Amino acid sequence: MSALVQKWIPAIIVAAGLAGAGWFVGQGVEGFRKADRYITIKGLAEKDARSDYAIWVISFRRASQTYQELQQVLMKDREEVVSFLKNQGFSEQDIEARSLQMTDLMAREYGQQDGFTFRYTGQGSVVVRTSQVEEVSRISNQLDPLIQAGVQISSDGPNGGAPRYLLRGFNDIKPLLLEQAVKNAAEQAEKFAADAGAKLGKIKQANQGSIQILDDDGTDEYSSGMTIGKRLRVVSTFVYSLE
């Protein structure tokens, strides 16, 4: 072997080694890309439902020059409201008569010795909690007997005095919605894979995502409780592999 050939053998070996390493690196990157082919799909499921529980706060207020008079009239108003509700068919378990609240305006730090039409103001409330949703909806629009009895109904409080309607049985419906969301996502993924000339693989990752209870008034905001009808919506995210 000539000295010239001996001189070039190490260089040839190094060059061949580098070329081989480059080939394997190239194959690794390509294989990684193939193995990492995936598609992310959002599955949607919606269902209409009816509220199964109602919370209704009936608030009333008064004003007077004397503490005793104010207390007496507020207690009478509270009794009128409770009696009205019982006459409408609500039980004692459905009704909560809350404590009265009274304020001496002159006792405030910024109070003046004169200038008040009434020195004392007060308010009270009666809360109805019941599964009689339809009855609450009907009776809440028929408060004329209380007004005629002199009760000064106030719009203060949650929902401006209107009932709030809730869906406490949501967890009973939730599994069905999730099942429908999975099915919806799978249908979309199958179609995408077919259009792309690929075969849909297994689910690599799943996220239950957001579950919303909406009012059925056409808004897409979370339920404020103003409507009896509800719109349930589940949006779940799934990652499928592509083969």
| Residue 36 pLDDT level (bands cut at 50, 70, 90) | low
Numbered ranges of CATH 3.30.70.2970 in the chain: 53-166
Which carries the bigger pLDDT value, residue 129 or residue 196?
129
Instruction: Return the pLDDT at 113.
Output: 53
For the chain, the average pLDDT equals 82
At residue 88 the predicted structure's pLDDT band, cuts being 50, 70 and 90, is very high
Q: 122-131, 149-158, 229-238: which has the minimum mean pLDDT? A: 149-158
Pick the CATH number of 34-50+169-242 from 3.90.110.10, 3.30.110.170, 3.40.920.10, 2.160.10.10: 3.30.110.170
Over residues 111-128, the mean pLDDT reads 80
DSSP per-residue codes, 8-40: HHHHHHHHHHHHHHHHHHHHHHHHHHHHT-EEE
Q: Whole-angstrom Cα distance, residue 57 to residue 127?
A: 4
CATH superfamily, domain 53-166, is Protein of unknown function (DUF541), domain 2 (3.30.70.2970)
